[in-house]
Amino acid sequence: MKIIVTGAMGQLGHAVRKLSSGSEHSYVFTDMNESEDVFRLDITDREAVISMVGDADVIVNCAAYTDVNGAEANESVAMKVNAEAPGILAEAAREAGALLMHISTDYVFDGKGNVPYDEEMQPSPVNAYGRTKLEGEIVDKKAQIDQLNVEITSLRDDITTARQETEAAKEELEKEKDMVSKLKKMIQDLQKSMIANVGSGSSEIGAAVTSLPAGDKGKVLEANNEAAFAIIEVTPEAMMQLKGNDLMRPLPMLDFPIKRPGFNGPAGEIVGRVRLRQEVPGKNWIVCDILSNWTQAEIKKNDVVFAD
């Protein structure tokens, strides 16, 4: 963990330096006054602070304008160090994703109490030093609230996006279910039609077409590998090649390879073969048998039908 300590030459900073000796964490000590193991840093200089903080995990702010009497005569200077600078440190911490530990003082109270002060007691400074340190606390708390608001907004956006994606996924799933239902009904109707044709002695097939020119001919719309059937959609050009100008002509029972771009099997991109069986009236859809002896992998939706 990288920890940056400001005001390292002061009384509090010196104590932190002493406590850090032998720590497993990485400390970077800074102060207005540079020394052998302390880097110079003016905490009122925004660019210098952001550059120094970099990828720190924790910032411990021990720096302050602590001259109580001097603050009365130079309250604007004390305000810059004790109030504005913590705001700069808070900004740098926010950008780095670091934790800021800001050290305050009992001077934010008026000293009239008869019990020890805690964080919940109402501050009431009576001098410039106390006022500037209290203002530093307020700036730090405001920065925390601003960061929390940013995180809440981001979380709300994430939730909204997740809800939208969930709804879109539900809609897509319902569409897929509807398509599968329609295809199953279509298969049942076609199977009944095929049985009726067989019963009536119809055996006409388009024997004139024995092959098609090489190239992509369409894609798989749906496949049931267990039941060994698939529904393919061929291009209008491919349908013309299969049937010619006679739209009433039965389909030839040709075999077609099915490939999946990027697939790498024993036969390259080929995942299997199908045999044309029955045309779906009014569409360029064809019900096919999946030839199990040619199967390299499960045939899936959007696989490519081609002629070799």
Tell me which residues are annotated as active site: 129
CA distance 60 to 48: 16
The burial of 202, by beta-carbon neighbours within 10 Å (0-12 exposed, 13-18 middle, 19 or more buried), is given as exposed
CA distance 85 to 80: 6
Q: 101-118 burial by CB neighbour count: b if 16+ within 10 A, else e?
A: ebbbbebbbeeeeeeeee
Sequence letter at residue 43: I
CA distance 105 to 140: 14
Q: Which of 239, 235, 240 is nearest to 219 (CA)?
A: 235
Q: What is the DSSP letter of 38?
A: B
Q: Which of 212, 220, 210 is nearest to 272 (CA)?
A: 220
User: Residue 130 in contact with residue 108, Cβ under 8 Å?
Assistant: yes
The position carrying tokens 């024995």 is: 210
The burial of 207, by beta-carbon neighbours within 10 Å (0-12 exposed, 13-18 middle, 19 or more buried), is given as exposed
Instruction: Give the sheet arrangement for strand 26-31, strand by strand.
Output: 39-40, 26-31, 2-6, 58-61, 99-102
CA distances in angstroms from 223 to 18, 19, 183, 184, listed in the order given? 72, 70, 10, 11
